[in-house]
Structure formats: C-alpha cells, structure tokens
Chain A
Amino acid sequence: MFDLPFIWAAIIAFAVLAYVVMDGFDLGIGILFPFYKSEADRDRMMNSVAPVWDGNETWLVLGGGGMFAVFPLAYAVIMPALYAPIIIMLLGLVFRGVAFEFRWRTRRGKFLWDWSFAVGSIAATFAQGIALGTIVQGIPVADRAYAGGWWNWLTLFSLFTGLALVVGYALLGATWLILKTEHELQAKSYRFALVLGPATLILIGLVSLWTPFLEPLYMERWFTWPRMLYTVPVPLLVAGAAYLLIRGLLRREELTPFLSALALFVLSYIGIGISFYPYIVPPTLTISDAAAPDESLAFLLIGAVVLVPIILAYTGYAYWVFRGKVGTEGYH
C-alpha cells in the first residue's frame, strides 16, 4: 500500500485540499462582493485576503504542476476532458487576481476591477465545480488519451456541482468575514451565512445522493458491507459539523462557523476520496496506471518531503502576522 504512487496520490490530494481550504474563502469573498455595496466594506473584504491570496493560489499550481509530474497520464486525460471549464477557470483567475492590485491604481476605473474580482471569482469557482462534477461522472479514456467530445463536461450533474461549489465557497467567504470583521460588516455576514449554511448542506446532501447513481463503482464503495463501517462515519461527521455551524451562527460565535464550514469541505472531500479510491480518473485509470516511473516519483518526493513542511510553516507564519480583525488598532 505504501508504494510511491500511493504516497504521491496522498500528497496531490493534500495539495488540492489545501487549495480548496485556502483559496475557497478568498474566492468566496469575490462571490459575495456584489452583495456588499459600500466601498469601505469592499476595501476591507479585499484586505482581509490580500496578503495571502497569492500563496493560496500557489497550491493550485502545485496541484496542476504536481499532477503533470507524477501522474502525467491522468493530467493528459483530465485536461482535454475539462477543456472549456479549465480555460474559464484560468481566465476567471486572471480577472480576479489582477483586481487585487489594479483596483488601488485607479479611482475612475475602480468599479471595473470590483466587477472583475466578482465575476472572475464566480466564474473560476463555477468552473472548478463543473470540473469536479465531470471527473465524478467519469471520463472516457482510450489508448492513453481522452476519448470524449469537448462538450461532455456539460451535464445537469456538473452544472449542479458547479452551483454547489459557488454556494459552498460563498459560505466559506461569509464565515471568514465573520472571523475577520466587526460591526455592520460582520452582522451582514452572519445573515448571509445563515442562508448559505443550510443551502450548502442541502446541496451537499443532494450531490451525495446523486453520486452513487452515476456509477455502480460508487454505489459499491458506499453501500456494501463491511465497507460501510468506513463510510458511515462520514455522513455522521457531516451532521456534527452542520450542527456546530448552525449553532455557532445562532450564538454569534466567530471562529466556530468558519472551522465548521471548513470541516464540511474536508469531509465532502474525504467522501469523494472514498468514492474514487483507487481510481484517479474513474472509472478507468487507477493511481498506479497513471503514475510516472518510480525514478520521477522518488526524485520529486525528496523535495516534497523536505519542502512542504517548510512551506506550511511560512504560510502559517504569514497567516499569523495578519491575524485578528481587519483594520483595527490591534495591528499596530
């Protein structure tokens, strides 16, 4: 079990999860942008993620670049299968990324970059959700290449997962704002989170119920004995996180809502992992099918083992430096 492809699958899975956890809330702030009208609010929202967005997005590069390195076949199959969603995601990230710098460089054109930030964030998130749905519903592979059409990604299911991710990231964004802001802005974020929280839970539920019917493989993963011993705790933990989220919001707690929202994402992610394993491109390519030769995996593993902890350490430091409420005297 502990062979190189498996270790690498775990590292790539971790990179993607790290991306979802870290970039999720900063994309979520972009999604919520149109609902906060005042310029001061928007400045503060943007400032709450400005110091860290760049590092957050680097995990996406690690996810993509890492897959290119260690699972080149999976990368070569998935990217053409997701052609349009990937391009839309990349262009969305262009629009929102430059907004962090550009909106401070102009008065007259500031509203343009506000829109660029919002639309880019929504488009990128929606595309990521579609990408997820497309992989879940299965990618046809023949002769080491993607064997479907370039519209295959467009299904009711993938649109639904796209919507679910937009709502879910918006929940992360709202709970992040609860943590990082005060007064009016925070009160407003509580109200949004109280709508987005239940909405996210309903969408997670629907996607979870839908998924097993897409592919017999998933049905078997989740509903055969004794595998169910491993799978049953996941929905139970989701229920627990949901309880903490709603209770935290009602009690006006600041940290619990964000952490429980993150927990929902982590658990959903584990759920997807349970459905997929040992496949990396269901239902055809397994982790070991897609893996690069051991020489490649071993060479990069040395770097990953040494560097990922260091990266986590200085990323943690950056978050620590910018801890607390945005724009309070406590920072000086």
Chain B
Amino acid sequence: MDGFDPVLLARWQFAFTVSFHIIFPAFTIGLASYLAVLEALWLATGRSTFLTLFNYWKKIFAVTFAMGVVSGLVMSYQFGTNWSVFADKAGPVIGPLMGYEVLTAFFLEAGFLGVMLFGLNKVGRGLHFVATLMVAIGTFISAFWILSANSWMQTPAGYAVNAAGQFTPADWWAIIFNPSFPYRLVHMVIAAYLTTALVVGAVGAWHLLRDRLNEHSRVMFSMAMWMLTLVAPVQILAGDQHGLNTLEHQPAKIAAMEGHFETRAGAPLILFGWPDMAAEQTLYEIAIPQLGSLILTHDWNGVVRGLKDWPKEDRPNALILFWSFRIMVGLGVLMLGLGLWSLWGRLRGTLYDMKLLHVAALLMGPMGFVAVLAGWVTTEAGRQPYTVYGLLRTAQSAAPVDAEAVGASLIAFILVYFAVFGAGVFYLLRLMSKPPHEGEPDSPSDAHLRSAGIVPAPALESVGELQPHPEERR
C-alpha cells in the first residue's frame, strides 16, 4: 500500500517537523538583529522609545526562541532515527558542519540569551549590549552552517567516496562554500529579515489602526517599512541570481519550477498552468512566448531544457514546484509593492494616516512565513529524488524502520506540534495585540521572563500579576 511506504512517511515526517521548525528561526534571525538595532539606537540616542520597543519585542523573542530550540532539537536526532543510511554516508561531510553550528552558534545563543533577557540592571549597559549582539551573531552563524550543510546536499562538492560508500571530505573549503551556498545564504538571511519586518510592520499597523498617535507604533511601523522598501528589491535580485545558479547546477529543478516538459529554443514563460507529471505536459497554460528563454538564458532564442530530458525516475514533482515557486515570487512582489506604497506615503508625509496601507501591512504580516515555506518547498522538493543531489537517492537514504513506527511517530509529532506550538502562537499573538507603552517592563520587575531568579521573593509570589494590563489577561 502506497500510504504505508516507510520512506514516504519518513519524508512527510521530515517535511512536517522541519516546516514547523523553520518558522521560528526565520523569525528569530531577523528579530535578534532588530533587537540589537533597537538597543544600539537607544544607547546612541538615549530615546526611551527604543528601549520600550526593545523590551516589548524581547518578550516575543523569548517565546519564539524557546519553540525554536525544542523543535530544532528534534531535527538533530531525526537524521538518525529516520534517515540513518543518509547519516552514515553523509555524516563525515555534513556532520562536522552541524557540529560547528552547535559549537559556534547554539552555545553562544543559549549562553548569552539569559543575560540578554535578564536585563540591564544586573550587568550594565555595555555588557548587556554585548549579550544582545552575541545572540544576534549566534543566529546568523547558525544560519551560515545549516545553510552550508543544506547547500552541500543540493550542490555537493569537495568530497570523495570511500570503500564503505561514505562521502568523505577532500576539501573543506569547497564543501563549505559549495556552489549554491552563497546564494542560498543571502536569499535566506534576507528572507528572515523581510519576514521579521512584515511581522513588526503588521504589529505596528495594528496598533496604528487603533491609535495612530502612539509613538511606539509609529517608530516600529516606520522601521519595518524602511526595511521592506530597501530590502525587498534586493531580495528579488538575490532570488534571480539564486535561480540562475540553480539553472547551472540543478536544471531539472528549474524545468519543474517553470513547468517546462519539452526542451526548446525560444521557450515561453508559463505564468499559470497545471503541470501534469503523468501526461508530461503543463495543462491549461497561460504563457508569454519566448520570455522564458529571455529570463533564463538572456537570449530570446536560448535553449531551455524540459523535464523530458531526464528519465522519469529522476524528475522532481513539477506540480509542487511550479506552484510553490509562484506563491513565493507572488508574495515577494507584494512585499515590494508594500514597500513602495509606504515610501510614497512617507514622501507625502502621510505614512501614519493611510488606513488602507495599514490594513495591507496587517494582512501581509504572516506572508513572510508563507514565502519562506514556499521557497523551501521549492528547493527541497526540487532536490528530489535525491538527498545528496545526483549521488544518493532518497529511497536509499532511509532508516530500516517499520512503517508503523514512522507512521506512529508522525501522528505523535502532528498532534503535539499543533497543540504545543498552536498554544505558543496564540500567546505570541496575545503579546502582540497589546500596544507597547512607556515603561514596558524590563527583566528585574518582569519576572515572568527567565531572569526571574533575580527578583526578591515577594515579587515572585505575585509574578502572574506583573503584566502591565492585568485586566487583559484571560
């Protein structure tokens, strides 16, 4: 029976757990940098608004980070539980990359997070800012290593194969800086920044819609819109470069993304359609003639390869890639549009009065996450049917575990993740629904952060009442 294929179940399990996980780091990578910027601005200008915003977003960061930690822990063991053959074969190459991630990033984040959350009053401004910076740098280093490992699976380089069939490292520089890594790193880090900007912008917009005079809402909305205005175009450029890199190294992925089955000169750009893998053609297509060749080869009559160039068993699923890619690109264009719209409002001096812009920013709030997920679906499903592209098939990577075991654990993950992280997202939304206000509690009185160890006993007793708006607690 198809549904009980252990490899398919293992793929679903990985897809599910990694999709949930990436949501949190996509947000914390950006948010850690935002916190560092806020604190730097506060230290430089002494303006209390920045400190208030810092303390406001710090609480949100803490909750998100906790979810990222526990969902990430799952990932580090899943290579072994479900993909043990892959672990044995690719471990000598990508294992050390992840080892470096733990040593250089995870410990750094975990070590300084306590100091960052625990507040200024204990260690002083200078050291506290160092802690905030360390956390931000840690998230970036983490992205560096994990994207290097992922990119190596996409575009393996610098390896040899030993008698046991393991990939062995031949040139670490070539492994780490494999051909797709720089593109993927830039694309993902910018994506994290945009995702964060969209969330911050949506929260700012929400509070502006309720009170457009709130200084804090204004500052965060303005900062977020600057980010979109300046960085969304850069991201589109980076994405284009990443795409050309993929065309060079994984042309089958591009063919699937574009819905091309036939190899031809002067290929059209298919805007919409329904790629049918069985029929080997894209149905109901709406296409612009020759534009596909122009974009991909920079020549009206350039030859673009179609999926039929590859044997059936070597093709990624075009239906998934075609649509996930379009969702990502579509959202990217919307982000650019929002950025330009806000720039127009800013130049007219009406940034804080345009209700429609605020509504749009609010609606775009979660779209960074959707775009990140769509992008990852595109690149990961596009790597199929391989785990190490062109070298190790997915079907030959899985652990010798029974379908029942994989299925049961998949169900357990689904139930637990929706319950636990669902609750977490609810708490995040509730934190965001409260407007930032002057005197946003910092750790020493804000005992519900993990700094609580430092508050006097009487404060602990009433720790639940320390919310600025107890009446809003439900």
Contact = CB atoms under 8 A, between A and B. Distances in A.
Interface of A: 40, 43-44, 46-48, 50-52, 54-55, 57-58, 60-62, 64-66, 68-70, 72-73, 75-80, 82-84, 86-87, 90-91, 93-95, 97-98, 100-102, 104-110, 116, 144-147, 149-150, 292-293, 295-296, 299-300, 303-304, 307-308, 311, 314-315, 317-318, 321-322, 326-329, 331-332
B81 A295 contact: no
Contacts of B473: 106-107
19 contacts: A51-B453, A55-B111, A57-B73, A57-B110, A62-B106, A65-B101, A68-B80, A68-B91, A79-B399, A80-B84, A86-B81, A94-B70, A94-B420, A97-B73, A98-B66, A150-B402, A150-B404, A292-B166, A315-B107
Nearest to A143: B400
B427 A106 contact: yes
Interface in B60-97: 62-63, 66-67, 69-74, 76-77, 79-81, 84-85, 87-93, 95-96
B114 A51 contact: yes
Contact of A91 (B89, B401, B416, B448): B416
Given A78-B80, A83-B81, A84-B405, A58 B453 contact: no
Contacts of B106: 58, 61-62
Interface string B350-385: 000000000000000000000000000000000000
A78 B399 CA distance: 11
A203 to B, nearest CB: 27
Nearest to B71: A94
A47 B455 CA distance: 10
Contacts of A73: 88, 91
A109 B93 CA distance: 45
A322 B454 contact: yes
Contacts, number: 284
B230 interface: no
Interface string B171-190: 01000000000000000000
Contacts of A78: 80
**Which of B416, B417, B454 is the most central at the interface, judged by chain A CB atoms within 10 Å of its CB?**
B454
A303 B100 contact: yes
Contact of B399 (A80, A100, A149): A80
Given A48-B453, A72-B87, A300 B96 contact: yes
B95 A47 contact: no
Given A47-B450, A79-B399, A104-B449, 18 more contacts: A44-B460, A50-B453, A52-B114, A58-B107, A61-B72, A68-B87, A76-B91, A76-B399, A83-B409, A86-B80, A93-B70, A94-B74, A95-B420, A102-B427, A105-B63, A106-B427, A147-B400, A295-B170
Contacts of A54: 66, 69, 110, 113-114
B271 to A, nearest CB: 42
B103 interface: yes
B162 interface: yes
**Which of A40, A84, A101, A314 is the most central at the interface, judged by chain B CB atoms within 10 Å of its CB?**
A101
A326 B399 contact: no
B166 A72 contact: yes
B401 A43 contact: no
B80 A79 contact: yes
B298 interface: no
**Which of B63, B102, B170 is the most central at the interface, judged by chain A CB atoms within 10 Å of its CB?**
B102
B460 A327 contact: yes
Interface in B423-474: 423-424, 427, 430-431, 447-457, 459-461, 463-464, 473-474
B111 A311 contact: yes
Contacts of A80: 80-81, 84, 399-401
5 nearest A-B residue pairs (beta carbon): A72-B91, A79-B80, A69-B95, A104-B448, A76-B88
B73 A90 contact: yes
A68 B66 contact: no
Interface of B: 62-63, 66-67, 69-74, 76-77, 79-81, 84-85, 87-93, 95-96, 98-104, 106-107, 110-115, 118, 122-123, 162, 164, 166, 168-170, 172, 399-402, 404-405, 409, 412-413, 416-417, 420-421, 423-424, 427, 430-431, 447-457, 459-461, 463-464, 473-474
Given A98-B420, A296-B95, A146 B400 contact: yes
Nearest to A52: B114
A318 B113 CA distance: 10
Contact of B115 (A40, A60, A321): A321
**Which of B70, B98, B113 is the most central at the interface, judged by chain A CB atoms within 10 Å of its CB?**
B70
Contacts of B69: 54, 57, 97
Contact of B102 (A43, A58, A95, A296): A58
B87 A102 contact: no
Nearest to B171: A295
Contact of A145 (B70, B169, B400, B404): B400
A146 B84 contact: yes
A315 B111 contact: yes
Contacts of B413: 87, 91
Contact of A61 (B67, B84, B102, B402): B102
A286 to B, nearest CB: 15
A54 B108 CA distance: 11
Nearest to B79: A68
Given A86-B77, A102-B424, A332 B454 contact: yes
Contacts of B98: 65, 68-69
Contact of A327 (B93, B100, B453, B464): B453
Contacts of B93: 296
Given A51-B114, A307-B104, A109 B460 contact: no
Contacts of A106: 427, 473-474
A132 to B, nearest CB: 16
B450 A72 contact: no
A97 B70 CA distance: 6
Given A299-B96, A327-B455, A314 B111 contact: yes
B80 A64 contact: yes
Nearest to B98: A65
Contacts of A317: 111
Contacts of B110: 54-55, 57-58
A4 B63 CA distance: 40
A78 B450 CA distance: 35
A296 B67 CA distance: 31
Contacts of A91: 412-413, 416
Contacts of B455: 327, 331
A300 B77 contact: no
A330 to B, nearest CB: 9
Contacts of A83: 81, 399, 401, 405, 409
